[in-house]
Amino acid sequence: MKQDSPKIVVIFPTKNEEDTIEHVIRAARKSHYNPEVIVVDAYSSDRTVRIANDNGAKVIEQDNRMFPAKGIAMKKGINEAIRYNASIVLFLDADIKNLTTEWVDKLVDGCINCDMVRGNYHRHGRDAPVTKLIAKPMMDVFFPEISHFEQPLSGEVCARMEVWKRLLTQNPPDGWGIDVWFLIEAAMAGYQIKEIYLGTKEHTSFEDYREDVGKLAKMAEQVEFTILKEAIKYGRIERHEDVKT
């Protein structure tokens, strides 16, 4: 590692990810950036925490037992990364079966000259219904200037620490709305954001809902209302009148 390499922290929010946690931590730790790996766990009832500890991650518990709590976990992770003096923080989902070290390197590389870098993938036809049916159409209406981002709910997001710190002060949501919220708030703050293509994403959460998409109802609701609240905050709500119903 070069002397002047930035300090990188990789954060995995986890809830019962014993099948994939070892693989993803190992892939991240092999990065030439030599990152610290933090797991923010949601009181997993399986072996996630033990496996994460055994593979060199620092494991912390999220702040409370409210679920879903991806936002709570991400906020906790950023605060922990601040203690590590990180200059770049990369969030990755822990359920990605085909995560590679190259993903980590590419996302961090992109962040050297950009404020925020986000993962984009090819997804199975039935994967990512909340992205396809809720987030993308709503972003088209309320935030057209950033609706070109293919994956507004991407869990693979890298940003410079000052970006995360500033966004933390804006009262981020606690649940599934967090991903699109970070995108909208970063864009509204004028940060430079780019999306990079990482290939196909294979993740275990898809297996949970491929036969019953209704399992995503809470996620859909939280994403939808996050975008609505942001549309109100930024004076965009009247744009719904342009939608043919």
Ligand X SMILES: Nc1nc2c(ncn2[C@@H]2O[C@H](COP(=O)(O)OP(=O)(O)OP(=O)(O)O)[C@@H](O)[C@H]2O)c(=O)[nH]1
| Partner whose binding site includes residue 24, from ligand X, Mg ion, none (CB under 5 to 8 Å by kind) | none
| Partner whose binding site includes residue 130, from Mg ion, ligand X, none (CB under 5 to 8 Å by kind) | ligand X
User: Which residues lie closer than 8 Å to 41 by C-beta, 6 or more apart?
Assistant: 14, 15, 48, 49, 52, 59, 60, 61, 62
> According to CB under 6 A, which one of 25, 37, 51, 130 is a site residue for ligand X?
130
The total number of residues written for the chain in this structure: 245
Task: Considering only the stretches 97-105, 139-147, 156-164, 199-207, report the one whose residues sit in contact with ligand X under the rule CB under 6 A.
Answer: 199-207
**String marking each residue 139-168 x if it binds ligand X according to CB under 6 A:** ----------------x-------------
Give me the least distance between CB of 197 and Mg ion, in Å please.
Answer: 18
> Is the distance from CB of 30 to CB of 63 less than 8 angstroms?
no
Give me the least distance between CB of 183 and ligand X, in Å please.
Answer: 13
Q: Is 29 in the site for Mg ion (CB under 5 A)?
A: no
Give me the least distance between CB of 180 and ligand X, in Å please.
Answer: 11
Helices 70-83 + 178-188 axis angle, to 10: 60
- The owner of tokens 């070290």 is 101
Which tokens hold the place of 199? 């290939």
- Start-to-end CA distance of the chain, whole Å, equals 56
